[in-house]
Amino acid sequence: METAPFLIEIENPEPDTTRLTLSGDFDYTTSADLAAMTPTLMSSGLRVLEVDLTGVTFIDSSGLATLIHLYHAAEEHPAEMRFVGMTPYIAHLFEVTALDQVFNLPTSTA
């Protein structure tokens, strides 16, 4: 089974805001890439961390755990972590795992 390559793009749309745009398969083989970036992200004067999952084609429990870890790291920093884009697939996954009650999600999905 072929997987979509996992990519992380980082932008700074405002001085104290960092946007992570994730795409591809976010699973046990790729989640460590984002986990390894977390300390650097939190040490950069960050106030708002925006996460765009619109391009994520698959996410497993390792990917979800990494997002939870990122959320807790942002809380401790302190910074606000919010999602700015996701697909109906990801929104449904967050709903069935009750993460929609934890994360700051967009009001509409792509």
| Predicted confidence (pLDDT) per residue in 71-88, tens digit | 999 999 999 999 999 999
Give dist(CA 110, CA 108) in Å, integer.
7
106 and 85 in contact (C-beta within 8 Å)? yes
Residue 106 lies in a domain: no
- Low-confidence residues of the chain: pLDDT under 50: 109-110
> What is the model's pTM?
0.91
One-letter amino acid at 33 equals D
Q: What are the φ and ψ backbone dihedral angles of 17, each rounded to 5 degrees?
A: -120, 130
Residue 78 lies in a domain: yes
pLDDT computed for residue 1 by the predictor: 58
Residue 108 lies in a domain: no
Q: Is the peptide bond before 78 cis (omega within 30 degrees of 0)?
A: yes
Residue 110 lies in a domain: no
What CATH number has the domain bearing residue 85? 3.30.750.24
pLDDT computed for residue 104 by the predictor: 86
Residue 42 lies in a domain: yes
pLDDT computed for residue 109 by the predictor: 47
Residue 11 lies in a domain: yes
Structural domain range at position 92: 7-101
Residue 1 lies in a domain: no
Closest CA relative to residue 71, chosen from 102, 107, 106, 33: 102
- Number of domains the chain contains: 1
